[in-house]
Amino acid sequence: MAYVYILRSRNNNHLYVGSTNDLGRRLAEHERGHSRATRALIPFECVFYEKFQTLLEARRVEAHLKRLKSRAVLERIIKDGIIKFMRE
């Protein structure tokens, strides 16, 4: 199993997209400041995650979301609770 997740900073409402094969471990790493990309986001909350069959699939979805650079798309995913565009 693999996951794509979205974090929201409680400080500045910034959103971060990531992927992992161990969601609990990765979120703990973010909380401890082990990721340079999210160190400034602490504290944050995980506002969305979705399971994928393989890490490769999750990484592709993560990359696609990051390429879009669209907060509106991320907010829609959070609201709907699913990444729809990858299934259409």
Query: Average pLDDT for residues 82-88, to the nearest whole number?
Result: 70
Q: How many domains does the chain have?
A: 1
Backbone angles phi, psi at 14, to 5 degrees: -65, 145
Contact 50, 82 (CB under 8 A): yes
Task: Quick: pLDDT tens for 27-78.
Answer: 999 999 999 989 988 999 999 999 999 999 999 999 999 999 999 999 999 9
Residue 82 pLDDT greater than 60, yes or no: yes
Amino acid at residue number 16? Y
The CATH number that applies at residue 42 is 3.40.1440.10
Which residue range(s) make up the domain with 16? 2-87
